[in-house]
Amino acid sequence: MKMLFWPLILLLSLSGCQETPALTFSSEEFTEADLDICKTEACSSVTIDFPKANGEAFISEKINSAINNYIIKALFLGDDDQPRATSITEAAKDFILAYRDHQPDIPTDIDHGGYEAEVSLYPSFQTEQLISLEASFYLFTGGAHGYGGTSFLNFDPETGEEIKFQDLVVNTTDFKDFVEGKFREAHNIPFNENINTTGFMFENDTFILPETIGFENKLVVFIYNAYEIASYADGPIILEIPLTEVQPFLDTTLL
């Protein structure tokens, strides 16, 4: 497993006259080559890039646990509600063994050496009050195409606790109306016409906010993953709004 260092240092709050240790992120990589079961036998492709928080233990451990849980769930192919793996190594191993278990059922005309998994997380936004990680995954397990998605993990850098984007919104109704206006402008949908006029597939012809909302640089990013409001062929539908325009709707004490 390789380890590099992100050019990111987040200074935490001061306690008395002493500064608490800085929270830093190192960049780590994991591939199928790190597994013993792949030393002598070909394995499905697994590529994982992720940050590891370093610093005050009670803070970094919470953040690293959330990162690990995201990766484990991204690799999970089982029928159970929750994966049994408790580490990235176990999750990658289970993913590879799943292909070996299913191999007799996979059409022989599929020309690949197994399943494929790519998982990536990186710090996309940081202030003294908030850390945002953009997280994405892509899996190919046979068929016409793979599947994947993007989400954001937001944290309080002073506690390591996750912050849901919804918790930052001061007025949900006004915020939703504001974003719908920006969405219509971006896709040339007149305000007096149905939101699905240009081919989107909002349920009940009613605009909804995406499940994925996060921060990247000085932008608030809204991502509708495949099938949320459009077909797979359309790819993710992304709306970016400058943070300065969104701030009136957010609890600025958390930014």
List the single range of 92-106, 162-176, 185-199, 207-221 with lowest mean pLDDT: 92-106
DSSP 3-state of 194? coil
- CA distance linking residue 60 with residue 64, whole number of Å: 6
- CA distance linking residue 94 with residue 84, whole number of Å: 9
Q: What's the pLDDT at 19?
A: 52
Compute φ and ψ for 46, nearest 5 degrees. -130, 120
Domains annotated for the chain, with CATH where assigned, are 2-155 (3.30.565.40), 166-250 (3.90.640.20)
Instruction: Determine the length of the chain.
Output: 255
Tokens 């192919």 correspond to what residue? 77
Q: What's the pLDDT at 114?
A: 81
The confidence band for 7, taking pLDDT boundaries of 50, 70 and 90, is very low
Q: Which residues pair with 9 in a beta bridge?
A: 24
Tokens of 79: 């029928």
Q: Are 211 and 194 in contact (CB under 8 A)?
A: no
Q: What's the pTM value of the predicted model, to 2 decimals? A: 0.85
Averaged pLDDT for residues 178-191: 97
Return the DSSP state at 146. Answer: -
Q: What's the pLDDT at 14?
A: 34
Q: What's the pLDDT at 18?
A: 43
- H or E segment at 9? strand 2-10
Mean pLDDT over the full length of the chain? 88
The confidence band for 106, taking pLDDT boundaries of 50, 70 and 90, is low
Averaged pLDDT for residues 31-43: 92
The confidence band for 42, taking pLDDT boundaries of 50, 70 and 90, is confident
Instruction: Give, in order, the Cα–Cα distances in Å from 157 to each of 21, 162, 163.
Output: 12, 9, 10
Averaged pLDDT for residues 83-100: 93
Return the DSSP state at 250. Answer: B
Does residue 17 surpass a pLDDT of 50?
Answer: no
The confidence band for 105, taking pLDDT boundaries of 50, 70 and 90, is low
